[in-house]
Structure 1
Amino acid sequence: MTNPANPPPQPGSAAVNPAPDRLTAILLVEDDDADATLVVRALRPYARRSTVTRVTSMRDAQAWLHRNACDVVLLDLSLPDSFGLETVSHLHADVPSLPLVVLTGFDDEDFALQILETGAQDYLVKGQTDGPLMWRAIQHAIARKRLEEDLRLSEERLQGIIGLAQDAILTADDTLTITLFNQAAERLFGYEAIDIVGRPLALLIPEHLRAAHEANVAEFRAGPVQSRVMAARREVVGLTRDGREFPAEVSIAKMHHARGLLYTAVIRDVSERKRVETELRRMATTDPLTGLCNRRRFWELAEVEIARLRRYGRPVSVLMLDIDRFKSINDSYGHAVGDQALCRLASVCMEELRDTDHIGRLGGEEFAVILPETGLSAAREVAERLREQLAAADIPCPNGALRMTVSIGIAVCSEDDMTIERALSRADRALYVAKSQGRNRVEVYDEIGASASLAG
């Protein structure tokens, strides 16, 4: 029975923020029976928290969404009546507020970025996704869409405020003395108009930025431009009466009158938008489980270090880490303990590594580390320290504490390395040797030694 105090979303809408006591409604759009079975089987452990409805075509999906509420769609790109990225764009255009997670058979980073740019919140590669990863992707998509909707609604709200003249508005004369201060400005800066009118505009600007602000005003005063809208101005920083700094967007206009120039500024606090943008950026570059760099962000940082190596010739080393027998941890103790192991590895590495080092989760239990300004000897010391600390780290589990070990491969980057993949490939070969030699050990890539070990 429907609770009148908490009515369900209207048909065709996305319940982006489902109530804690409500099941997550999942629409699976998949025409392949085998793939659909795998998805349903993967989500079976979450049956008490979700419902899965399956349709087999784009037309059926659109019809179902127009009649029913849904929290997230798992969308195959190859349907009888829709194929490729158009599948995402069509459904996104039809129900723009609905989170989309794409199911694809292509494990390609460039294609994945196209999927996200077309309107999806996440993607999963068929055959490489287990239940916990799929469930996390679903929750991530819902959270990401919620933030996107927050940002969209925030922008609409701000535009409405401008239309109603509810942004902070102030005027100042040619000496930059405040002559008008509206109620919105009172709320924003914490001053009463009676206290601030007649005082210098500099009171609303942090002291360390006042000289630059006066120079910008002087340039604006001397130039031919009569106004600068918010889109044409870089961000400025405001200062409240209690000393709090906040990011702001400003529209400013100048006009001449009998007593000289008069400046009018419309000021908008964008702290909330910045928070949302920062969170979206964090979600796009961070592994949601461990908090480390995800593969995409790690690759970006790695290429910067490779470029620095080629330019300055400074040493750079890379490590490849892999938890030994990770599958047996999941099988014996459950995926929750496996996740604890991954998080423990991340926290230990962050404690032991320098601020200038970079660590990323490349996938599963595989991690990579970039060590700038680090030659082979120092890299070996770092790797051994990590191995020892990880072997001594406790992992909480239902029966007490669990210990894990890692195998580590090391490679030194060369100026001939055009991309980080070559160095990581060498480190990965050294990691393979460490695994084959008994695990819980560090191996250094060596052209002859690694080749001989692999051949043997």
Structure 2
Amino acid sequence: MSAHSGTQDLAVEHEALLQFLYLAPVGLVQTSAAGEVELMNPLSAQLLMPLSKDGGLANLFKVLESVAPELRGMAEDFISPQGAICEGFRAQLTGGIRGKEEPKMLGISLIKLAPDRLMAVLTDMTQVIAQERQLKYNTAWLNAITAGVTDYALMSLDHDGRIQEWNPSIGRVTKFTAKEVVGKYFSVFYKDQGISIDRMTDYLREADEDGWSLSEGWRMKGDGSRFWSSSMIVPIEEMVAETGGGAPSVLQEEKRYALIIRDITARTRDAGARLNAMSTDYLTGIANRRTLFESAELELKRWHRHPRPLSLMIIDADFFKKVNDTYGHAAGDLVLCDLASALGESMREIDTVSRIGGEEFAALLPSTDSEGAFQLAERFRKRVEAACVTFEGGEIKYTISIGISVMDESVRGFDDLLARADTALYIAKETGRNKVEIWNGLKRALRT
């Protein structure tokens, strides 16, 4: 074969590759190890352009920083010369509007082709969210009713959520005695302040409306140890005879519930790495953006069912770029981890704390009004201001700015609530930083 013929063959192969790239039903992006874009098909540009703050698509990691800050670190820490860095990573783009618009999700698979070359595969996952949510509920239901007879506790609750009767399964799973639980709210199985009256009511009302209420999380045993539980509440209607004044008895309908608590600690431990990767931020270990949006969707659904205070805090590390430029990215990562740790320690168990962007964090606060959120934010701001991060023998001081928004009838969805908190955060930073501001409906802050 002549050199000319070989060149023609290569040109044909190159042309075929370009056609595949541009006609592929998924977004394809080839980048350098640092994320600098070398090739990108039109679908990728369509998916990524709404995420670009400056309209540019020169660096994939920069474009995705606001929705998937973990990706850069995952790529940097992947030491093999080739292989899958992540498969099916999901970045939450929007929260949607209840009853009108589905949440938008971007699926990302990142592959290392060579030491200096990456390929990203991008897919719009919006259409599968509702299907997966229903599948999750169906699976939880099947797990709850097909378990072995030794790993669940079954108990009856009255209409307010108080445990009515004792049976051996309760003691076997939870290590509580009859005296410790009968007549108590089912919150007895939660750590102190782990569940509020509002949240207990939510679970009961969700059982009324949906036929069951499902939840997972840490629960406490009577001996002080904890276990990872899958809990299901199912409404039960009973006819009770009521008599009085010598009149004939009358059957009255009485609302009750059945509570099934399962200890799935062992199963969760086996699947822990996968679940952790899906729900937590790669760098800081707290919840990621996707988890925040999922929690917000549920909290807004509860709010529309039974309105009560709900607040959102957005936290941003002040002058973070200066920290990176002065001390290096390793120091910057340490500051972010310190901020995440302090945030998690400062909030309640029912709050959702997450990292949602580069140096931006959020806390979703159920049953918290604007004044309560402001006081909590102020305490946290002062805690950060008074502390420091030790790095290579030196100390790094940093501060934070916080924006707060509060749920009300004018909020169209979580995206709207998030935008309001972002506006308040912007005002806090523009008016001096190291302060807390609240959005008040006029796109300016209540407090200065």
Q: Which TM-score applies when normalising by structure 1? A: 0.46
Higher relative contact order (CA 8 A, sep 6+): 2
Bigger share in helix: 1
Structure showing greater radius of gyration is 1
Q: Which TM-score applies when normalising by structure 2? A: 0.47
Bigger share in strand: 2
